[in-house]
Structure 1
Amino acid sequence: MPDERAPWPSAADPLGEALHFLELRGAFYCRSEFTAPFGLELPPLKDHLWFHVITRGSCWLDAPGAQPRRLTGSELALVPHGQGHRLRSEPGAPTPSIFELERERLGERYEILRHGGGGERIDMVCGAVRSDHPAAGRLLALLPQILVLDPATDPARLDWIQSTLRLMAIEAEGLRPGGETVITRLSDVLVVQALRAWLENDPAARSGWLGALRDPLIGRAISLIHREPGRHWTVASLADQIPMSRSAFAARFTELVGEAAISYVTRWRMHLAATALRDEGATVAELASRFGYRSEAAFARAFKRVVGSPPGAARRTLPAPSQQTGSISTTYSSTSTATG
C-alpha cells in the first residue's frame, strides 16, 4: 500500500521528495543572551541536528572536522551530525559545559540561558531537532560538518528567517498554552529552510542518492518504491514502470544509487519496519503482511539481515518516541546512556 502518513510531493520535485522524509521532531530550544567574553561547550547528541541563529552581535562556532567559523547577524548555522561543539565570543575564550551554567527552564523543551562577562551583547536562538525517518540518514550524511546560510546573499531568505524568529520570540514571551509546541515547530521550519537552500545550491546535492532522485528515470523508480513499499517489486516490474529495458535499468540504478534495486527495496522496507516496531508497536505478522512477505519467518530473516538483529530484539532496544524529546539535560542523559 502507498505510504499515506503525509501528502507526497510531486514526482517531478526530487528536492521535495528528499525533504519530505525529514519529519523533524524538535527536541530542545534555547534563547541565549550572552555578553563578551563568553564561551560554552554543547554536548554531542546522537541523531540530532543542532542549529544556531545570531540575532545580535557575532560569535565563533567551532566543531570537529571544520574550520572555526565566525557567525554574524541573521546567519543560520547547522551542526548536522550531532557533534559536540563550542560557541565563544572570541578564539581562545574558555568554554565550560552548558551543564555548568545556570539556565532558566520554562518548559520540557524550552530554556533561557544568560552568560558572559558583561561586555558586548550577543543574542542567539539555539536548538536541536532530530529525524527518525529511514531516508533522513542518506540526506544528512551528505551535509558538511558545519552548514552556514548567510541570508544577506538572498533578501528573500533574510525575510523568512527574521519573520520566523519574530514568531518564536512572541511565543517565548507569552508562553501561552501550546507555545512550546509552536516554538519547536518553528525551529523545524528554520532547519528545513536551511536544508532547502543547501539542496538547491550545493554541488554535493547532485551526487549519490540525491543525484539519483534528480534523475528523471531512476528518480521515478525510487519514488515508486517509497510510495508502495509493500508491492511485489522486481527489477522487471520497476523497469516496466519507467520504462526502460531490464538490463539498462538495473545497471543505471546500481550506478546512481550505489546498490542494486532489489537490495534498496529490502533496505527501505526494513527501515520502515523498524520505525513501525518502535512507534506503532506493530507485530511481526502485521509487518510481514504490510511489506509483502509470505511468512513471518521470511520477513524476520530479511529484517535481521538488514538491521542486524531479529525484530523482537530490535523492539526492545529501540527508544520510544517519548524518550526522544525533553529538556537538553534529559535528552543528553538518555543519549549518553544509549551510546555508552
Structure 2
Amino acid sequence: MIDIHTWGTTDPLGEALHFLRMSGTFYSHAELTAPWGIALPPFPDCMMFHVIISGRCWLEVEGLPAQVLQLGDLALVPHGAGHRLTSDTGADAVELFDLPREALSERYEIIRHGGTGAATTLVCAVVRFDHPVARQLISLLPPAIVVETSGVRYSDWMQGTLRLMASEARDMRPGGETVMTRLADILVIQAIRSWIDHDPAAQTGWLGALKDRQIGRAISLIHGDPARAWTLSMLASEVAMSRSAFAARFTELVGMPAMQYLARWRINLALASLKERDERLAHIASRVGYKSEAAFNRAFKRVTGVTPGAIQRNSALLAPGK
C-alpha cells in the first residue's frame, strides 16, 4: 500500500529522495570481452543503470555524445531509453534479447559475450519506481547521468558499496537479490543527489520549489495530507505569506497554480492506488480528498482522460495469472 502520510515538513527534497525505492527490479551480470557491443531496447516507465565492476566501456544514448565509463562508474538512463554499451566507439552491437543468457532466477541472469580481447564486467538493472513522488522526481532527470565515484564526496563508501554489489552479483547467495536492490537504492539516490548538486537544471522547477523554504513547506503540506480541504488562503497562512504573494510564487516556481498542483497530486496518488487493485473506488476517493465517488470520477477523468474504473479493470487484466 502506498503511504501518503510519511511526508514531513523539515526537508522536502530529502523526503522526495526517501520515496526512491525500487520495485520490479531485474538484474544482469555481464561478462564481456572485446570486441563487444550490446544494444539495449527501450523499457518504458523504467530506469536502467549500469555499474562498471571491472574494465571500461562506452555508453551511447541517442542525442548525447558517447561517454566512456571506467571502473567504479555508475550510469543511469532514467527514462528507459534505448541505448548502446560497447567496448569501443563504432563497435558492432548485438540486440540484447539475441544474446545467450543464463537465467539464475526470475530476476537475475548472466550474460557472456564478445571476442578474445580485454575483459569488462558490468552489473546492469532495469528498475521501476511506483510512488508518485519518485515518478515526479525521475521525470525531471536528464536522458543520462554518469557518476564517476572516484570524484564524488564520500567516494570511499560509494566504492565500498560498489564492491559489495559486485560480490553479491558474483556469488548470489540466498537473499542476494534483496541485498543488491537495497544497495542499488543507495547508489541511485547518490547519483541523483550528485546531479542535483551540480546541474543548474536541478535548481529550477519542482526541484527548485522543494528547496524554497516557504513553497517547499507548502508542497510538503499537500503531500502529507492530500485529503484535507486545502484552499489557497489556508496554504498561504501555513507558510506565513499573503494569499496573492503565495499564489504568484508557487506558480512561478512549480509551473502551475497551487490548487492545480493539489488536484494533480491527488489524482497521481489515486492512480498509484488503483494499480494496486486492493481498494474500492469510494475508499480511494475519500483517502485523496473527494467527498463522493462521483466527484472523484469527474476529477480523475478531467486530469487523465479516462475513468478510474477503466484503470482498475485494465490493471486487473494485466495482473499475473490473468
TM-score (norm 2): 0.93
Deviates more, 1:213-222 or 1:290-299: 290-299
Whether the aligned pair in 1 keeps the contact of 2:149 and 2:159 (CA below 8 Å) is no
Deviates more, 1:51-60 or 1:231-240: 51-60
Check if 1:219 corresponds to 2:204: no
Q: Secondary structure at the match of 2:184?
A: helix
Q: Secondary structure at the match of 2:110?
A: strand
- One-letter identity of the residue aligned with 2:136: R
CA drift of 1:306 comes to 1.1
> What is the RMSD computed on CA atoms of the aligned residues?
2.1
d(CA) in 2 for partners of 1:319, 1:213? 35
Q: Which residue of 2 aligns with 1:204?
A: 201
Q: Match for 2:230 among 229, 233, 248? A: 233
d(CA) in 2 for partners of 1:210, 1:52? 25
- Deviation per residue, 1:250-275 (Å, 9 max, x gap): 11111111111111111101110111
Whether the aligned pair in 1 keeps the contact of 2:27 and 2:108 (CA below 8 Å) is yes
d(CA) in 2 for partners of 1:165, 1:225? 37
Q: Which residue of 2 aligns with 1:106?
A: 104
Q: Which residue of 2 aligns with 1:91?
A: 89
Give the count of matched residue pairs. Answer: 320
- CA shift in 2, pair 1:23/1:319, >3 Å: farther
- One-letter identity of the residue aligned with 1:258: G
Whether the aligned pair in 1 keeps the contact of 2:277 and 2:315 (CA below 8 Å) is no
Check if 1:182 corresponds to 2:179: yes
- One-letter identity of the residue aligned with 1:255: E
Q: Match for 1:153 among 135, 151, 154? A: 151
- Deviation per residue, 1:45-69 (Å, 9 max, x gap): 0111111111222111111121111
- Deviation per residue, 1:60-94 (Å, 9 max, x gap): 11111211111111111111111011111111111
Whether the aligned pair in 2 keeps the contact of 1:278 and 1:320 (CA below 8 Å) is no
- One-letter identity of the residue aligned with 1:248: A
Whether the aligned pair in 1 keeps the contact of 2:20 and 2:134 (CA below 8 Å) is yes
Check if 1:65 corresponds to 2:66: no
CA drift of 1:161 comes to 3.0
Q: Which residue of 1 aligns with 2:169?
A: 172
Q: Which residue of 2 aligns with 1:296?
A: 293
Seq. identity, %: 54
User: Mind listing any 5+ residue stretches in structure 1 that lack a counterpart?
Assistant: 324-340
Whether the aligned pair in 1 keeps the contact of 2:12 and 2:217 (CA below 8 Å) is no
Deviates more, 1:131-140 or 1:240-249: 131-140
Whether the aligned pair in 1 keeps the contact of 2:28 and 2:110 (CA below 8 Å) is yes
User: Mind listing any 5+ residue stretches in structure 2 that lack a counterpart?
Assistant: none
Q: Which residue of 1 aligns with 2:250?
A: 253
- CA shift in 2, pair 1:132/1:296, >3 Å: same
- One-letter identity of the residue aligned with 1:200: D
d(CA) in 1 for partners of 2:12, 2:283? 31
- CA shift in 2, pair 1:27/1:254, >3 Å: same
d(CA) in 2 for partners of 1:170, 1:79? 23
d(CA) in 1 for partners of 2:272, 2:127? 17
d(CA) in 2 for partners of 1:26, 1:53? 18
d(CA) in 1 for partners of 2:318, 2:46? 14
CA drift of 1:291 comes to 2.2
d(CA) in 1 for partners of 2:170, 2:66? 32
Whether the aligned pair in 1 keeps the contact of 2:269 and 2:288 (CA below 8 Å) is no
